[in-house]
Amino acid sequence: MDFILSCIEANREIYRLLNNEKNLCEKCKKGFGGDVSLKADLMAEAIFIKYLSQFGQIYSEESGFIGDGKNIVIVDPIDGSKNFASNIPYFGSSAALKKDGNIISGVVANFAAGHMYIKDGSRFERRFFLQDKIEKITSNPLQGIGIFEKAHQSQNISRKLCQASFKYRTMGALALSLALSHEVDFVLFRGSTREFDIAAGWYMSEDLYRFKAKNILLVSKDKGIFDKIHNFIAELSI
């Protein structure tokens, strides 16, 4: 079975788990990424290990490096687990396959909405859990709203966006927000970036305008919007 099909099966099993298992918000140990893992995080990680360890060494937010292999499988078992624990319907998972230092495949699931974003070479599509339905992802031509993750960490940028009449939301699941980058005006993130947070989502935005520094990410399908926000960042010396 290839990587994408294995990711699909893993996410389907996690989707069933989240909709049927009880007590998934129980706090467990502190994970490799620094956050306290929920029971849901650890159970989802075990499912990913079961399906994806055949493709290489697992690098997971919860347990760090697991197993061995020439390739690296980068996993965030539950992206937005605090949203999940708080019944905020914006959470998913992220899995990416790295070969020879490059991401070559990625799957980001949106468990709250019931679908997955799948990118493998030129294929980029949305596949639904409960329907036999696949949609090709294309850039949304409508202008309206962006996503600014961790906006609370940069009041100066928030002020600039407000002054320029940019509307945005802070969603709380970075991989999922990056996977949405073709469908919103922009995705902006302020904070330290960890590979398991961004690998698959960043890969999905490779055809858009992008800026990446140590503590900030910016993606937009619109060059005018990208340039304006990038100028805000430069003016503030971030």
Q: What is the pLDDT of residues 88-111, one digit of tens each?
A: 999 999 999 999 999 999 999 999
Q: Would you state the pLDDT for residue 143?
A: 67
Q: Is the pLDDT of residue 184 over 90?
A: yes
pLDDT digit string, tens, across residues 8-28: 999 999 999 999 988 898 888
pLDDT grade for 237, boundaries at 50, 70 and 90: low
pLDDT digit string, tens, across residues 190-223: 988 889 889 999 999 999 999 998 889 999 999 9
End-to-end CA distance of the chain: 44
The more confident residue out of 26 and 224 is 224
Indicate the SS3 state at residue 149.
strand
Structure tokens at 87: 């019944």
Q: Are 173 and 91 in contact (CB under 8 A)?
A: yes
* pLDDT, mean over the chain: 92
Sorted by sequence, the CB contacts under 8 Å of residue 237 that are 6+ apart come out as none
Residues 6 and 51: their CA atoms lie apart, in Å, by: 6
* Domains (range + CATH), the chain: 3-136 (3.30.540.10), 146-235 (3.40.190.80)
Q: Are 28 and 37 in contact (CB under 8 A)?
A: yes
Q: Is the pLDDT of residue 142 over 80?
A: no
Q: Is the pLDDT of residue 133 over 70?
A: yes
Indicate the SS3 state at residue 49.
helix
Amino acid identity for residue 175 in this structure: A
Q: Are 104 and 200 in contact (CB under 8 A)?
A: no
Q: Is the pLDDT of residue 1 over 70?
A: no
Q: Residue range 38-48: average pLDDT?
A: 94
pLDDT grade for 140, boundaries at 50, 70 and 90: confident
